[in-house]
Amino acid sequence: MHHHHLPLISNVPLLPSSLILCPPSPNSRSPRRRITLVRASMDGNGELPLVLLVRPLFPAFEDSLRQHFRFLLPWESTLPTHEFLSANARSIRALLCFGPSPVDGSTLSCLPGLQCVVATSAGVDHIDMDECRRRGILVTNAGDVFSDDAADYAVGLLIDVLRRISASDRFVRSGLWPIRGHYPLGFKLGGKRVGIIGLGSIGSRVAKRLEAFGCTILYHSRTTRPSLAYKYFSNVCDLAAESDVLIVTCALTRETHHLINKDVLLALGKDGVVINIGRGALIDEKELVRCLREGVIGGAGLDVFENEPNVPKELFAMDNVVLSHHRAIFTPESFSGLLQLVIDNLKAFFDGRPLLSPISA
Amino acid sequence: METLGVLFTFPRNSYLESELDRRCNLFRLWEAPPESRLDFIRSHANSIRAVVCNPIVGADADIIDALPKLEIISTCSVGVDKIDLDKCRQRGIRVTNTPDVLTDETADLAIVLAISVMRRIPEADWYVRCGSWKAIGDYKLTTKFSGKTVGILGLGRIGTAIAKRAEAFDCPIIYHSRSEKPNTTYKYYPNVLELAANCQVLIVSCSLTPETHHIVNREVMDALGPNGVLINIGRGLHVDESELIKALVEGRLGGAGIDVFEQAPHVPEELFGLENVVLLPHVGSNTVQTRKAMADLVLGNLEAHFTNKPLLTPVM
């Protein structure tokens, strides 16, 4: 049997590789600088807990994560992946999945001892959730750590489309302003009816922001949110018919695939704007491009696409469209928040404590 | 008002132009070559009793002096920095502007400029359109907007509207104004330098006066710093533009979102290649709805004056 060679750590209480140095907390009363020594949680052999990876760690996360966990790297083995997994199955209880690498049924079937999957994204459409539920495998996602940034980006995309920010920035940089004299008018945001699809952590933050601009919020969600005073629609078409803007912030599941389709776009209408920061497949992309080309809807702001990094080239010539390469959450705060959440979820799992951001069934 | 002579200084609102043309005897200043503008004005001076102007071409001393019958100047803007107010005061000429109808639009623009600069949305749009997105996995980080301290220079109608919006992003609000405002919870700073030193996003939304000329100078930009972002939705002359370019190029200022320039429509080309700026062609109030509302306010003010009713939005 091929063993993945790991450095041996002897059974001594405090070990250099397990020391975590914490700076004194801001509220510390002690006038002298104190360093707190915290022992990382160990498994029964005095080693750091073992976590399976399906792709390499983000370089930025590697140092921190390796202070707390040991990692199993299947691609470094000469064995084919499924054989490697089966060979190590007994020691694998946790899997860290950097999105969007898939965790599919065949991978899961090689891991009979798997109890926890920690994902790094808000969306978990790349994980076989049915199989995880069936086997009682706990799955955690990114919780709220990205939500502010995602909401900011959605608002930025919307106002950009309405007020033609990116298009007129290009206009100025091309030197056309002195020649053409002015740029075509945009459209007012205040008073617009904004239909939010998916009123979760991100959607509710989008709503709060847009209310301050004088928008009226409507929504469709799997469940109603009675504590929020927004009008609920059980049907996306009906929502679109009463909206000037649709903002897609829901999860991609079998049910929500191509949720925004021809009927919805038609109902939204010729001045309507669609903003998508969810997943590309939430929208029938071919249909969206056709509707934009034919003026069935008024504009779109898209951070995600059905087949990234491929973007329908027809969109490149449209000034009523704003395009972005799937980076609604790329800020230092979101990334460090994510790193901390990943560490905290894994530690909670290995300590037998409740997970911080489990996905409920 | 059919025989009323109105001088219109610059073609920026076709709805306003056609309404004026329909209702009055309209003289279009831009139809005269620049060197003979004053002659053009003088030749029609007998019938011109009103001037309609805007931030691009205003009503300066020369124009006012050439119009002995001038009674009212209506600017299609909230700023009146392009009108010689002293002359108007001396001659008893009424002046109106277009406040309130453009407050929301301009405040919206300030916020979207901040998000655009910090989150690099126009840059992303450009990147995708160029066909540069060839592989997933570019994790270049941008600057978070939510929660950053926003410093507002000029807490008037527009500044207050900006603050309300920024608060929805959990941004702490601080401000500097000519005088401290009694009914706000925002922290006041007695000068713009301290304001800049204590915020991450500095938004210029005050009026242009001799005191606020180049109020954002090199010192202020250095105080705002390499992580700071400057947003100008006021007037080009609020910011020392040549210092702005140096600060951006040298990395002493983190970024800038600019809707107004000192020599608009000429924008310094050094800015074109920078990825930490967003440059707009004075679109502050440029929506279909707002432009119409501004035009209606100009027309309403003129109508009120010439039918001896109280002006709707007088400045003087």
* Tens-digit pLDDT profile for residues A145-200: 999 999 999 999 999 999 999 999 999 999 999 998 888 899 999 999 999 999 99
A279 is a catalytic site residue: yes
Q: What are the chain A neighbours of B167 within 8 Å (beta carbons)? A: 212
Q: Does A213 sit within 8 Å of B165, measured CB to CB?
A: yes
CATH of A147-323, one of 3.40.50.720, 3.40.225.10, 3.30.1050.10, 3.40.50.1860: 3.40.50.720
pLDDT in tens, B53-91: 999 899 999 999 999 999 999 999 999 999 999 999 999
pLDDT at A99: 72
pLDDT above 80 (res A18) = no
pLDDT at A51: 96
Q: What are the chain B neighbours of A177 within 8 Å (beta carbons)? A: 264-267, 281
Residue A311 touches partner B, C-beta closer than 8 Å: yes
Q: What are the chain B neighbours of A324 within 8 Å (beta carbons)? A: 121, 124-125, 128
Both structure tokens of A7 = 């450095």
Q: Domain limits of chain A?
A: 17-145+331-351, 147-323
Q: What are the chain A neighbours of B267 within 8 Å (beta carbons)? A: 172, 177
Q: Does A58 sit within 8 Å of B139, measured CB to CB?
A: yes
Q: What are the chain B neighbours of A335 within 8 Å (beta carbons)? A: 139, 141
Across the range B148-164, mean pLDDT stands at 97
The reply to whether A17-145+331-351 and A147-323 are identical in fold is yes
Q: Does A163 sit within 8 Å of B279, measured CB to CB?
A: no
Residue with tokens 């304001």: B195
Question: Cα dist. B166→B41, B110, B145, B146, B292 in Å?
Answer: 46, 10, 9, 8, 27
Q: What are the chain B neighbours of A165 within 8 Å (beta carbons)? A: 112-113, 116, 121-122, 278, 280
pLDDT above 70 (res B123) = yes
pLDDT in tens, A37-71: 444 556 666 789 999 999 888 888 999 999 999 99
- Nearest residue on chain A to B274, judged by CA atoms? A173
Q: Does A177 sit within 8 Å of B286, measured CB to CB?
A: no
Q: In the CATH hierarchy, which fold is given to the domain comprising A17-145+331-351?
A: Rossmann fold (3.40.50)
CB-closest option in A163, A166, A333 to B109: A163
- Nearest residue on chain B to A323, judged by CA atoms? B125
Both structure tokens of B172 = 């702490």
- Nearest residue on chain B to A148, judged by CA atoms? B146
pLDDT at A60: 83
pLDDT above 90 (res B32) = yes
pTM above 0.90, yes or no: no
Helix, strand or coil, per DSSP, at residue A253: coil
Q: Does A309 sit within 8 Å of B136, measured CB to CB?
A: yes
CB-closest option in B12, B113, B116 to A182: B12
Would you give the end-to-end CA distance of chain B in angstroms?
A: 22
CB-closest option in B109, B135, B278 to A309: B135
- Nearest residue on chain A to B56, judged by CA atoms? A181
Q: Does B108 sit within 8 Å of A163, measured CB to CB?
A: yes
pLDDT at B209: 94
CB-closest option in B129, B145, B265 to A323: B129
Q: Does A165 sit within 8 Å of B141, measured CB to CB?
A: no
Residue type, A177: W
- Please answer whether residues B140 and B123 qualify as being in contact, where contact means their C-beta atoms are separated by less than 8 angstroms: no
Q: Does A151 sit within 8 Å of B146, measured CB to CB?
A: yes
Helix, strand or coil, per DSSP, at residue A219: strand
Q: Identify which has the larger pLDDT, A223 or B206.
A: B206
A326 is a catalytic site residue: yes
β strands within A69-136, DSSP E: 70-72, 94-97, 116-119
Catalytic residue among A62, A76, A211, A308: A308
pLDDT above 60 (res B29) = yes
pLDDT at A180: 87
Across the range A343-348, mean pLDDT stands at 97
pLDDT in tens, B163-215: 999 999 999 999 999 999 998 999 999 999 999 999 999 999 999 999 999 99
CB-closest option in B12, B170, B265 to A178: B265
Both structure tokens of A186 = 């945009």
- Please answer whether residues A40 and A48 qualify as being in contact, where contact means their C-beta atoms are separated by less than 8 angstroms: yes
pLDDT in tens, A88-97: 999 999 999 9
Residues 6+ positions from A41 with CB-CB distance below 8 Å = A49, A68, A347, A350, A351
- The residues in A 90-109 lying below 8 A from B, measured between CB atoms, are 100
Closest CA to A272 of A280, A260, A281: A260
- The DSSP element (H or E) to which B152 belongs, if any, is strand B150-153
Question: Residue B193 CA to chain centroid, in angstroms?
Answer: 22
- The DSSP element (H or E) to which A163 belongs, if any, is helix A147-163
Residue A109: Cβ-neighbour burial (10 angstroms; 0-12, 13-18, 19+) = middle
pLDDT at B136: 73
